[in-house]
Amino acid sequence: MVNTVTQPLTFEDYLAYDDGTDNRYELVDGQLILMTPPRVEHFLITDFVDVTLKTEIQRLGWPWLTFREAGVRTGSAKSRLVDLCIVTQAQAKELLGQSAVFQTAPQLIVEVVSPDSVTRDYRYKRSEYAALEVPEYWIVDPLEAKVTLLRWDEGLYEEMVLIGDQAIASPTFPELNLTVAPILAAGTLD
């Protein structure tokens, strides 16, 4: 993660920002933060979770969609890039023809921890997603071989740390048959 030196931007400035590169930025307190490209393991895990949740959505016939690397507005001058989020078709329809930055809470956000994102994923994004009242937030941590499942309940996140063969007890996907082990194994190419 690299801080770029700019004048403070508004959220609207951020939506219109184009530096002519393929760089991806988050907006934090009006400042652009350049995001470093994730490691291959990160992409593999995100892909596995995406396919798994997309399959469950299709099985249930729910009007939900998965988005990778979409933005989520978390404050007046803040926008985070998520590894994966689940939104309703209505939320996606509101953004047709615009940047994919959701201004309402996704149903579920999944972040995969990389060496440079530990504090961001566990601390900053957690508090920002809580302020937005995101109903469910998963922190998939291949560095520590665990998944932290955060469920919004009466103004706070209830935390459950899962390892190995423990099941992901998702309130968003109550019939999901998934444990931590295959999520983490997806990043190993074994």
How many residues make up the chain in this entry? 190
Is residue 50 situated within a structural domain? yes
CA distance 184 to 145: 7
Is residue 6 situated within a structural domain? no
Is residue 106 situated within a structural domain? yes
CA distance 62 to 11: 31
Is residue 155 situated within a structural domain? yes
Is residue 2 situated within a structural domain? no
Inform me whether the pLDDT recorded for 1 exceeds 60: no
Q: Please state the pTM of the whole predicted model.
A: 0.92
Note the pLDDT tens digit of each residue in 101-130. Answer: 999 999 999 999 999 899 999 999 999 999
Is residue 14 situated within a structural domain? no
Tokens of residue 163, six digits: 């390892």
Is residue 28 situated within a structural domain? no
Is residue 74 situated within a structural domain? yes
For the chain, the domain total comes to 1
As to burial, measured by CB atoms within 10 angstroms (0-12 exposed, 13-18 middle, 19+ buried), residue 86 is buried
Report the CATH number at residue 128.
3.90.1570.10
Q: Which domain holds residue 72?
A: 38-185
Note the pLDDT tens digit of each residue in 146-160. Answer: 999 999 998 899 999
